[in-house]
């Protein structure tokens, strides 16, 4: 008798649980049907199914909601991604402590194997400062970087004979890099002996520069515009004096301007600049004149050159072009001048 009573109680409990589960599922299904989150019918389908005008208006409102992606429920939509490596064999408890810091920044560089030494020096400066790094391999040589100790901690993307802007347009979409406070989109031919990323960012933040670049060493760098030349006084500058013969008026490239070889963008500025990059842009000549549109206000205030943290721009052509730098050109020029002087001396003395 007791056994039957216990079985009866157990059956009642099971029935109660099943009933509640079924009731919950029914209510949830009714809510989903009401909002119609998975309704993907086209207009022609609605006409065939004789959907009422009122229902059509409801569906249109759902589709027009900017917070929704199609008809996906809000709770499962993930708008953003990042470039952080997440190996299968690592858990959050054993990941690097630096990944838990609040601010992260990104550096992306087009990298050819001929510039391995300079890229290695850049990585050794940036990676310890909580940077995520991406190398864009335009020469197809990726495995040749494996001997460097940091190689497995950066992202390698390879596409033969493509430029920095081609890579940036396809792999640095604002939704993918939104977690990074600043994006460094640098060339590979920069020497960073006198550059510290953390000190640089401190200056950029204190002066509210949303687009910036480090100043260039005037003695060792290939200089294209006077505004990029490092000034020895002060931490930064935003314009060149009008006394300079090349800068008799305001505006790019004399104020509110940075060059395309080493730009640094804030997150908000990059969201704008990414849309400036045309899909068929190759070398990027001239795009730096348009960066001012992304200055989040007055370009003469929000764009500047950081002088206290400067670099050397060696002027090596992208895609494995001439590797002649300013120093080697100066050396060759001196040799030619010496040869010319010898020839002039022999000519003045006449034949023996």
32-63 tens-digit pLDDT: 656 554 444 444 444 444 545 555 555 555 55
Asked if residue 285 is part of any domain, the answer here is yes
pLDDT score, position 115: 94
Half-sphere exposure at residue 301, Cβ-oriented, CA atoms within 13 angstroms: 4
280 and 166 share a domain? yes
Asked if residue 12 is part of any domain, the answer here is no
51 and 187 share a domain? no
Asked if residue 191 is part of any domain, the answer here is yes
pLDDT score of 325 more than 50: no
Asked if residue 18 is part of any domain, the answer here is no
Model confidence band, residue 211 (pLDDT cutoffs 50, 70, 90)? very high
70 and 134 share a domain? no
| Residue of 148 and 87 predicted with greater confidence | 148
135 and 37 share a domain? no
Report CA-CA distances (Å) from 51 to 37, 71, 126, 333: 16, 17, 59, 81
Asked if residue 245 is part of any domain, the answer here is yes
71 and 220 share a domain? no
Phi, psi of 155 (to 5 degrees): -95, 130
In DSSP terms, 266 is beta-bridged to: 182
64 and 183 share a domain? no
For the record, the structure tokens of 206 come out as 């204190």
CATH classification of the domain holding 316: 3.90.550.10
> Which ranges of 36-79 would DSSP assign to H, the alpha helix?
43-49, 53-64
For the stretch 76-105, pLDDT in tens is 777 778 888 877 776 554 344 444 457 899
240 and 150 share a domain? yes
Asked if residue 171 is part of any domain, the answer here is yes
pLDDT score, position 82: 81
Average pLDDT over residues 101-115: 90
Model confidence band, residue 11 (pLDDT cutoffs 50, 70, 90)? confident
133 and 55 share a domain? no
167 and 312 share a domain? yes
Averaged confidence pLDDT in the chain: 80
pLDDT score of 326 more than 60: no
Asked if residue 176 is part of any domain, the answer here is yes
The domain tally of the chain equals: 2
For the stretch 264-277, pLDDT in tens is 999 999 999 999 99
Half-sphere exposure at residue 143, Cβ-oriented, CA atoms within 13 angstroms: 0
Containing domain of residue 139, as a range? 103-328
189 and 141 share a domain? yes
Least confident of 93-107, 131-145, 184-198, 223-237: 93-107
CA 47 to chain centre: 46
Residue % of the chain over a pLDDT of 70: 74
Report CA-CA distances (Å) from 292 to 54, 64, 240, 257: 47, 32, 16, 7
Who's near 53: CB < 8 A, 6+ residues apart?
Answer: none
74 and 127 share a domain? no
Separation of alpha carbons 119 and 141, rounded Å = 14
| Residue of 51 and 68 predicted with greater confidence | 68
| Residue of 283 and 99 predicted with greater confidence | 283
Asked if residue 5 is part of any domain, the answer here is no
40 and 173 share a domain? no
């Amino acid at each position: 008798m007791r056994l039957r009573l216990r079985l009866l109680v157990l059956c009642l409990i099971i029935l109660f649980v099943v009933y509640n589960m079924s009731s919950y599922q029914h209510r949830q299904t009714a809510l989903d049907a009401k909002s119609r989150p998975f309704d993907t019918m086209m207009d022609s389908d609605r006409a065939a199914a004789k959907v009422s005008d009122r229902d059509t208006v409801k569906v249109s409102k759902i589709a027009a909601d900017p917070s929704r992606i199609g008809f996906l429920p809000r709770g499962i939509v993930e708008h953003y991604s990042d470039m952080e490596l997440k190996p299968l064999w690592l858990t959050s408890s054993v990941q690097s402590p630096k990944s838990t810091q609040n601010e992260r920044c990104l550096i992306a560089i087009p990298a050819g194997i001929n510039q391995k030494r300079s890229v290695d020096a850049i990585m050794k400066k940036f990676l310890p400062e909580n940077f995520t790094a991406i190398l864009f391999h335009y020469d197809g040589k990726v495995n040749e970087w494996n001997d460097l100790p940091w190689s497995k901690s950066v992202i390698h993307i390879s596409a033969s004979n493509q430029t920095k802007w081609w890579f940036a347009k396809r792999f640095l979409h604002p939704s993918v890099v939104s977690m990074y406070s600043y994006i460094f989109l640098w060339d590979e031919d920069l020497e960073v002996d006198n550059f510290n990323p953390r000190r640089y960012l401190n200056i950029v933040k204190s002066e509210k520069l949303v687009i910036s670049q480090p100043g260039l060493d005037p003695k060792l760098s290939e200089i294209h515009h006077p505004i990029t030349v490092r000034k020895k006084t002060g931490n930064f500058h935003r314009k060149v004096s009008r006394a300079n013969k090349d800068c008799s008026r305001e505006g790019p490239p004399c104020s509110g301007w940075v060059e395309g070889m080493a730009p640094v963008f804030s997150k908000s500025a990059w969201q704008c600049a990414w849309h400036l990059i045309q899909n068929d842009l190759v070398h990027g000549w001239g795009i730096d004149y348009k960066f001012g549109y992304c200055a989040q206000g007055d370009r003469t205030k929000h764009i500047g050159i950081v002088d206290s943290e400067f670099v050397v721009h060696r002027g090596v052509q992208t895609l494995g072009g001439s590797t002649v730098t300013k120093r080697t050109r100066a050396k060759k020029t001196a040799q030619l001048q010496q040869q010319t002087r010898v020839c002039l001396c022999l000519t003045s003395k006449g034949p023996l």
